Structure 1
Amino acid sequence: MKFKKIIIWLIVFFVLLAGGRYIIKEYIYPYKYSNIINEYSAKYELDPYLVLAVIKTESNFNENAESSKGAKGLMQIMDSTGEWIADKLEVENFETKMLFDPEINIEFGCWYLNNLLSEFDDLSLALAAYNGGSGNVTKWLNDPEYSSDGENLTYIPFKETKKYVDKVSTRYNVYKFLYE
Protein backbone atom coordinates (compact mmCIF):
# COMPACT_ATOMS: atom_id res chain seq x y z
CA MET A 1 0.00 0.00 0.00
CA LYS A 2 2.81 2.40 0.90
CA PHE A 3 4.56 1.63 -2.40
CA LYS A 4 1.35 2.46 -4.32
CA LYS A 5 1.10 5.84 -2.58
CA ILE A 6 4.70 6.66 -3.48
CA ILE A 7 4.05 5.76 -7.12
CA ILE A 8 0.89 7.88 -7.19
CA TRP A 9 2.70 10.85 -5.63
CA LEU A 10 5.54 10.48 -8.14
CA ILE A 11 3.06 10.44 -11.03
CA VAL A 12 1.29 13.53 -9.63
CA PHE A 13 4.65 15.28 -9.18
CA PHE A 14 5.76 14.62 -12.76
CA VAL A 15 2.38 15.63 -14.21
CA LEU A 16 2.54 18.91 -12.28
CA LEU A 17 6.13 19.41 -13.34
CA ALA A 18 5.27 18.88 -17.01
CA GLY A 19 2.19 21.09 -16.73
CA GLY A 20 4.17 23.78 -14.96
CA ARG A 21 6.73 23.85 -17.75
CA TYR A 22 3.91 24.21 -20.28
CA ILE A 23 2.40 27.11 -18.32
CA ILE A 24 5.78 28.82 -18.02
CA LYS A 25 6.44 28.45 -21.77
CA GLU A 26 2.95 29.46 -22.78
CA TYR A 27 2.33 32.40 -20.46
CA ILE A 28 5.54 33.59 -18.79
CA TYR A 29 8.28 32.95 -21.36
CA PRO A 30 6.41 32.60 -24.65
CA TYR A 31 8.01 32.21 -28.07
CA LYS A 32 5.79 34.71 -29.89
CA TYR A 33 6.56 36.03 -33.37
CA SER A 34 8.63 32.88 -33.91
CA ASN A 35 8.74 33.06 -37.72
CA ILE A 36 9.90 36.68 -37.72
CA ILE A 37 12.39 36.14 -34.89
CA ASN A 38 13.81 33.02 -36.51
CA GLU A 39 14.16 34.76 -39.88
CA TYR A 40 15.95 37.87 -38.64
CA SER A 41 18.01 36.24 -35.92
CA ALA A 42 19.38 33.91 -38.63
CA LYS A 43 19.91 36.79 -41.07
CA TYR A 44 21.84 38.81 -38.47
CA GLU A 45 23.57 35.82 -36.84
CA LEU A 46 21.91 36.08 -33.44
CA ASP A 47 20.60 33.45 -31.07
CA PRO A 48 16.79 33.69 -31.29
CA TYR A 49 16.62 33.15 -27.52
CA LEU A 50 18.61 36.35 -27.06
CA VAL A 51 16.12 38.22 -29.25
CA LEU A 52 13.25 36.75 -27.22
CA ALA A 53 14.94 37.85 -23.99
CA VAL A 54 15.35 41.40 -25.30
CA ILE A 55 11.71 41.55 -26.43
CA LYS A 56 10.48 40.09 -23.12
CA THR A 57 12.49 42.72 -21.23
CA GLU A 58 11.77 45.68 -23.50
CA SER A 59 8.03 45.32 -24.16
CA ASN A 60 6.82 41.98 -22.79
CA PHE A 61 5.70 41.23 -26.37
CA ASN A 62 3.49 44.32 -26.66
CA GLU A 63 3.97 45.46 -30.26
CA ASN A 64 2.25 48.77 -29.46
CA ALA A 65 4.47 49.58 -26.49
CA GLU A 66 5.83 53.12 -26.33
CA SER A 67 8.11 54.24 -23.52
CA SER A 68 8.01 57.62 -21.82
CA LYS A 69 11.19 58.43 -23.79
CA GLY A 70 9.53 57.53 -27.09
CA ALA A 71 11.01 54.07 -27.75
CA LYS A 72 8.60 52.07 -29.89
CA GLY A 73 7.47 48.53 -30.51
CA LEU A 74 8.57 45.11 -29.42
CA MET A 75 12.28 45.91 -29.19
CA GLN A 76 11.72 49.53 -28.04
CA ILE A 77 13.61 51.36 -30.78
CA MET A 78 14.00 55.12 -30.50
CA ASP A 79 12.90 57.21 -33.50
CA SER A 80 16.42 58.47 -34.21
CA THR A 81 17.82 54.93 -34.02
CA GLY A 82 15.06 53.69 -36.31
CA GLU A 83 15.82 56.41 -38.86
CA TRP A 84 19.54 55.59 -38.70
CA ILE A 85 18.89 51.85 -39.16
CA ALA A 86 16.41 52.52 -42.00
CA ASP A 87 19.14 54.53 -43.72
CA LYS A 88 21.71 51.74 -43.21
CA LEU A 89 19.26 49.11 -44.50
CA GLU A 90 18.17 51.39 -47.36
CA VAL A 91 14.51 51.24 -46.35
CA GLU A 92 12.63 53.66 -48.58
CA ASN A 93 9.85 55.93 -47.30
CA PHE A 94 10.54 55.01 -43.68
CA GLU A 95 8.29 56.62 -41.08
CA THR A 96 8.84 56.17 -37.35
CA LYS A 97 5.28 54.85 -36.88
CA MET A 98 6.52 51.81 -38.82
CA LEU A 99 8.46 50.82 -35.69
CA PHE A 100 5.18 49.46 -34.33
CA ASP A 101 5.14 46.87 -37.13
CA PRO A 102 6.52 43.64 -35.56
CA GLU A 103 8.46 42.61 -38.66
CA ILE A 104 10.16 45.97 -39.12
CA ASN A 105 10.82 46.35 -35.40
CA ILE A 106 12.33 42.88 -35.04
CA GLU A 107 14.46 43.27 -38.17
CA PHE A 108 15.74 46.66 -36.99
CA GLY A 109 16.32 45.37 -33.45
CA CYS A 110 18.22 42.31 -34.72
CA TRP A 111 20.33 44.45 -37.05
CA TYR A 112 21.09 46.82 -34.18
CA LEU A 113 22.00 44.02 -31.76
CA ASN A 114 24.29 42.50 -34.38
CA ASN A 115 25.87 45.91 -34.94
CA LEU A 116 26.49 46.38 -31.20
CA LEU A 117 27.90 42.86 -30.83
CA SER A 118 30.27 43.58 -33.71
CA GLU A 119 31.28 46.89 -32.16
CA PHE A 120 31.85 45.63 -28.60
CA ASP A 121 32.51 41.90 -29.16
CA ASP A 122 30.85 41.13 -25.82
CA LEU A 123 27.22 40.35 -24.99
CA SER A 124 27.06 42.32 -21.73
CA LEU A 125 28.61 45.39 -23.36
CA ALA A 126 26.27 45.10 -26.35
CA LEU A 127 23.25 44.88 -24.02
CA ALA A 128 24.51 47.84 -22.00
CA ALA A 129 24.85 49.79 -25.26
CA TYR A 130 21.37 48.72 -26.42
CA ASN A 131 19.93 50.22 -23.24
CA GLY A 132 22.33 52.99 -22.26
CA GLY A 133 23.78 54.00 -25.62
CA SER A 134 26.96 52.92 -27.35
CA GLY A 135 28.55 56.32 -26.73
CA ASN A 136 28.14 55.86 -22.98
CA VAL A 137 29.58 52.35 -23.05
CA THR A 138 32.60 53.58 -25.03
CA LYS A 139 33.04 56.42 -22.54
CA TRP A 140 32.84 53.99 -19.59
CA LEU A 141 35.38 51.64 -21.18
CA ASN A 142 37.81 54.55 -21.45
CA ASP A 143 37.31 55.56 -17.81
CA PRO A 144 39.44 53.68 -15.22
CA GLU A 145 36.66 54.22 -12.68
CA TYR A 146 34.45 51.82 -14.70
CA SER A 147 36.96 49.69 -16.62
CA SER A 148 40.39 48.50 -15.56
CA ASP A 149 41.41 47.22 -18.99
CA GLY A 150 39.39 49.24 -21.52
CA GLU A 151 37.65 46.06 -22.70
CA ASN A 152 35.38 45.08 -19.80
CA LEU A 153 33.22 47.05 -17.42
CA THR A 154 33.78 46.51 -13.73
CA TYR A 155 30.90 48.83 -12.92
CA ILE A 156 27.94 50.16 -14.90
CA PRO A 157 27.14 53.65 -13.56
CA PHE A 158 23.53 53.71 -14.82
CA LYS A 159 21.39 51.63 -12.42
CA GLU A 160 18.74 51.12 -15.10
CA THR A 161 21.34 49.81 -17.55
CA LYS A 162 22.88 47.47 -14.96
CA LYS A 163 19.42 46.08 -14.13
CA TYR A 164 18.65 45.78 -17.85
CA VAL A 165 21.81 43.76 -18.58
CA ASP A 166 21.07 41.46 -15.64
CA LYS A 167 17.40 40.99 -16.64
CA VAL A 168 18.13 40.22 -20.29
CA SER A 169 20.97 37.85 -19.36
CA THR A 170 18.75 35.97 -16.90
CA ARG A 171 15.85 35.78 -19.33
CA TYR A 172 18.21 34.65 -22.09
CA ASN A 173 19.33 31.73 -19.90
CA VAL A 174 15.71 30.88 -19.05
CA TYR A 175 14.74 30.86 -22.75
CA LYS A 176 17.67 28.58 -23.57
CA PHE A 177 16.72 26.25 -20.72
CA LEU A 178 13.06 26.07 -21.75
CA TYR A 179 13.41 25.79 -25.52
CA GLU A 180 16.74 24.08 -26.31
Structure 2
Amino acid sequence: MALLGVVGLAAVVLSQRVPDVVDEIRLPLRHEDIIRQQAREKGLDPSLIAAVIYAESRFRDNQVSHAGAEGLMQITPDTARDIARQSGATSFELSDLHTPQVNIAYGSWRLRHMLERFDGSVPLALAGYNAGPENAQRWLNEARGRGASFRLRDITFPETRNYVAKVLSARRDYRATYPKQLGLD
Protein backbone atom coordinates (compact mmCIF):
# COMPACT_ATOMS: atom_id res chain seq x y z
CA MET A 1 0.00 0.00 0.00
CA ALA A 2 2.89 2.39 0.82
CA LEU A 3 4.44 1.65 -2.58
CA LEU A 4 1.18 2.55 -4.27
CA GLY A 5 1.13 5.84 -2.34
CA VAL A 6 4.70 6.67 -3.41
CA VAL A 7 3.92 5.83 -7.04
CA GLY A 8 0.78 7.97 -6.86
CA LEU A 9 2.69 10.88 -5.34
CA ALA A 10 5.40 10.57 -7.99
CA ALA A 11 2.76 10.58 -10.71
CA VAL A 12 1.20 13.75 -9.32
CA VAL A 13 4.59 15.52 -9.06
CA LEU A 14 5.59 14.44 -12.56
CA SER A 15 2.25 15.43 -14.07
CA GLN A 16 2.70 18.93 -12.62
CA ARG A 17 6.26 19.24 -13.98
CA VAL A 18 5.79 17.68 -17.42
CA PRO A 19 4.22 20.83 -18.90
CA ASP A 20 7.16 22.89 -17.58
CA VAL A 21 9.67 20.46 -19.08
CA VAL A 22 7.85 20.44 -22.41
CA ASP A 23 7.78 24.25 -22.45
CA GLU A 24 11.51 24.38 -21.66
CA ILE A 25 12.34 22.03 -24.54
CA ARG A 26 9.97 23.66 -27.03
CA LEU A 27 10.54 27.24 -25.92
CA PRO A 28 13.63 27.57 -23.72
CA LEU A 29 14.08 30.55 -21.40
CA ARG A 30 17.21 31.45 -19.46
CA HIS A 31 18.69 34.67 -18.07
CA GLU A 32 15.23 36.05 -17.24
CA ASP A 33 16.70 38.46 -14.70
CA ILE A 34 19.00 40.01 -17.34
CA ILE A 35 16.18 40.14 -19.89
CA ARG A 36 13.88 41.92 -17.41
CA GLN A 37 16.67 44.34 -16.44
CA GLN A 38 17.53 45.21 -20.05
CA ALA A 39 13.86 45.55 -20.99
CA ARG A 40 13.39 48.08 -18.17
CA GLU A 41 16.58 49.99 -18.96
CA LYS A 42 15.94 50.19 -22.68
CA GLY A 43 12.15 50.44 -22.72
CA LEU A 44 11.69 47.13 -24.52
CA ASP A 45 9.17 44.32 -24.27
CA PRO A 46 10.96 41.47 -22.45
CA SER A 47 9.12 38.92 -24.58
CA LEU A 48 10.63 40.55 -27.67
CA ILE A 49 14.15 40.24 -26.25
CA ALA A 50 13.49 36.59 -25.37
CA ALA A 51 12.09 35.95 -28.86
CA VAL A 52 15.16 37.46 -30.53
CA ILE A 53 17.44 35.32 -28.36
CA TYR A 54 15.35 32.26 -29.24
CA ALA A 55 15.55 32.98 -32.98
CA GLU A 56 19.24 33.82 -32.87
CA SER A 57 20.68 31.14 -30.59
CA ARG A 58 17.93 29.17 -28.80
CA PHE A 59 19.56 30.46 -25.59
CA ARG A 60 22.97 28.87 -26.27
CA ASP A 61 25.56 31.28 -24.80
CA ASN A 62 28.53 30.24 -26.93
CA GLN A 63 26.79 30.14 -30.30
CA VAL A 64 28.87 31.46 -33.23
CA SER A 65 27.28 31.85 -36.66
CA HIS A 66 28.82 31.28 -40.07
CA ALA A 67 28.93 35.09 -40.39
CA GLY A 68 30.93 35.42 -37.17
CA ALA A 69 28.05 36.67 -35.00
CA GLU A 70 28.49 35.60 -31.40
CA GLY A 71 26.54 34.83 -28.26
CA LEU A 72 22.90 34.77 -27.30
CA MET A 73 21.78 37.65 -29.49
CA GLN A 74 24.28 36.91 -32.28
CA ILE A 75 26.22 40.14 -32.47
CA THR A 76 29.11 40.50 -34.90
CA PRO A 77 32.40 41.85 -33.55
CA ASP A 78 32.12 45.00 -35.72
CA THR A 79 28.59 45.69 -34.51
CA ALA A 80 29.69 45.07 -30.91
CA ARG A 81 32.54 47.59 -31.27
CA ASP A 82 30.08 50.15 -32.71
CA ILE A 83 27.63 49.54 -29.85
CA ALA A 84 30.42 49.82 -27.27
CA ARG A 85 31.54 53.14 -28.76
CA GLN A 86 28.02 54.57 -29.19
CA SER A 87 26.71 53.41 -25.82
CA GLY A 88 29.68 54.82 -23.91
CA ALA A 89 31.13 51.51 -22.74
CA THR A 90 34.45 52.09 -21.00
CA SER A 91 36.00 48.81 -22.06
CA PHE A 92 35.08 46.00 -24.39
CA GLU A 93 36.71 42.69 -25.25
CA LEU A 94 35.35 40.36 -27.94
CA SER A 95 35.19 37.57 -25.38
CA ASP A 96 32.56 39.69 -23.58
CA LEU A 97 30.09 38.67 -26.28
CA HIS A 98 29.89 35.25 -24.63
CA THR A 99 28.91 36.81 -21.30
CA PRO A 100 25.09 36.81 -21.09
CA GLN A 101 24.95 40.20 -19.34
CA VAL A 102 27.05 41.93 -21.99
CA ASN A 103 25.52 40.14 -24.97
CA ILE A 104 21.93 40.79 -23.92
CA ALA A 105 22.76 44.41 -23.05
CA TYR A 106 24.37 44.99 -26.47
CA GLY A 107 21.66 43.12 -28.37
CA SER A 108 18.96 45.05 -26.50
CA TRP A 109 20.75 48.32 -27.23
CA ARG A 110 20.80 47.41 -30.94
CA LEU A 111 17.14 46.39 -30.86
CA ARG A 112 16.19 49.70 -29.18
CA HIS A 113 18.25 51.58 -31.79
CA MET A 114 16.45 49.74 -34.63
CA LEU A 115 13.03 50.50 -33.12
CA GLU A 116 13.92 54.19 -32.89
CA ARG A 117 15.24 54.25 -36.44
CA PHE A 118 12.04 52.66 -37.77
CA ASP A 119 9.54 54.66 -35.70
CA GLY A 120 8.63 51.77 -33.42
CA SER A 121 7.85 49.30 -36.21
CA VAL A 122 8.78 45.94 -34.73
CA PRO A 123 8.88 44.09 -38.08
CA LEU A 124 11.18 46.71 -39.62
CA ALA A 125 13.35 46.81 -36.49
CA LEU A 126 13.71 43.03 -36.63
CA ALA A 127 14.53 43.16 -40.34
CA GLY A 128 17.17 45.77 -39.58
CA TYR A 129 18.54 43.72 -36.70
CA ASN A 130 18.87 40.67 -38.94
CA ALA A 131 19.78 42.04 -42.38
CA GLY A 132 21.12 45.48 -41.50
CA PRO A 133 19.31 48.79 -41.27
CA GLU A 134 20.20 49.79 -44.83
CA ASN A 135 18.30 46.79 -46.23
CA ALA A 136 15.31 47.42 -43.97
CA GLN A 137 15.27 51.07 -45.03
CA ARG A 138 15.40 50.04 -48.70
CA TRP A 139 12.41 47.68 -48.23
CA LEU A 140 10.48 50.44 -46.47
CA ASN A 141 11.33 52.95 -49.22
CA GLU A 142 10.26 50.52 -51.94
CA ALA A 143 6.91 49.95 -50.24
CA ARG A 144 6.39 53.70 -49.82
CA GLY A 145 7.39 54.22 -53.47
CA ARG A 146 4.47 51.98 -54.45
CA GLY A 147 2.20 53.98 -52.15
CA ALA A 148 1.85 50.99 -49.81
CA SER A 149 2.53 50.26 -46.17
CA PHE A 150 5.47 48.01 -45.38
CA ARG A 151 4.54 44.32 -45.10
CA LEU A 152 6.60 41.21 -44.41
CA ARG A 153 6.33 40.20 -48.05
CA ASP A 154 8.32 43.36 -48.92
CA ILE A 155 11.41 41.76 -47.39
CA THR A 156 13.25 40.36 -50.39
CA PHE A 157 15.61 38.12 -48.40
CA PRO A 158 13.71 34.88 -47.61
CA GLU A 159 15.97 34.22 -44.59
CA THR A 160 15.16 37.64 -43.11
CA ARG A 161 11.44 37.36 -43.91
CA ASN A 162 11.36 33.97 -42.13
CA TYR A 163 13.42 35.37 -39.25
CA VAL A 164 10.99 38.25 -38.66
CA ALA A 165 8.01 35.89 -38.77
CA LYS A 166 9.76 33.48 -36.39
CA VAL A 167 10.54 36.24 -33.87
CA LEU A 168 7.00 37.63 -33.98
CA SER A 169 5.57 34.15 -33.42
CA ALA A 170 8.03 33.41 -30.62
CA ARG A 171 7.20 36.75 -28.99
CA ARG A 172 3.53 35.70 -28.74
CA ASP A 173 4.58 32.32 -27.36
CA TYR A 174 6.89 33.85 -24.74
CA ARG A 175 4.18 36.27 -23.62
CA ALA A 176 1.72 33.38 -23.23
CA THR A 177 4.10 30.83 -21.72
CA TYR A 178 6.34 32.88 -19.41
CA PRO A 179 4.47 36.02 -18.30
CA LYS A 180 5.60 35.72 -14.67
CA GLN A 181 9.24 34.95 -15.49
CA LEU A 182 9.41 37.91 -17.89
CA GLY A 183 7.67 40.28 -15.49
CA LEU A 184 4.62 40.70 -17.69
CA ASP A 185 1.93 39.98 -15.10
Question: TM-score w.r.t. structure 1 length?
Answer: 0.84
Aligned to 2:31: 33
2:85 is aligned, of 59, 84, 87, to: 87
Distance in 1 (alpha carbons) for counterparts of 2:149 and 2:88: 32
Distance in 1 of aligned mates of 2:63 and 2:131: 19
Moved segments of 4+, more than 3 Å: 146-151
1:1-180 → structure 2 map (5 Å cutoff): 19-120=17-118, 121-144=120-143, 148-149=146-147, 152-153=150-151, 154-180=153-179
Q: Distance in 2 between matches of 1:149 and 1:42?
A: 36
Which amino acid in the other structure matches residue 172 of structure 2? N
Contact 2:28 2:58 in 1 (8 A): no
For residue 147 of structure 1, report the CA deviation from its aligned partner. 6.2
- Cα deviation, residue 92, structure 1: 2.0
Residues 54, 125 of structure 1: alpha-carbon distance in 2 compared, 3 angstrom cutoff: same
The residue number in structure 2 matching 1:6 is none
Return the alpha-carbon distance in structure 2 between the equivalents of residues 141 and 177 of structure 1. 30
Q: Give the number of aligned pairs.
A: 165
- CA distance in 1 between counterparts of 2:148 and 2:85 reads 31
SS in 1 for 2:154: coil
Closer, same or farther: CA 148–75 of 1 in aligned 2, 3 Å: same
The gaps in structure 1 that reach 5 residues or longer are 1-11
Instruction: Provide closer, same or farther for how the CA distance between residues 150 and 88 of structure 1 changes in structure 2, counting only shifts above 3 A.
Output: farther
Partner of 2:3 in structure 1?
A: none
Give % identity.
35
Q: Match of 1:162, as an amino acid?
A: R
Q: Deviations over 1:15-45 (max 9, x none)?
A: 96x6553123332223200111111111001
Show structure 2 runs of 5+ residues with no match: 1-10, 180-185
Higher relative contact order (CA 8 A, sep 6+): 2
Does the Cα contact within 8 Å between 2:72 and 2:100 map onto a contact in 1?
yes
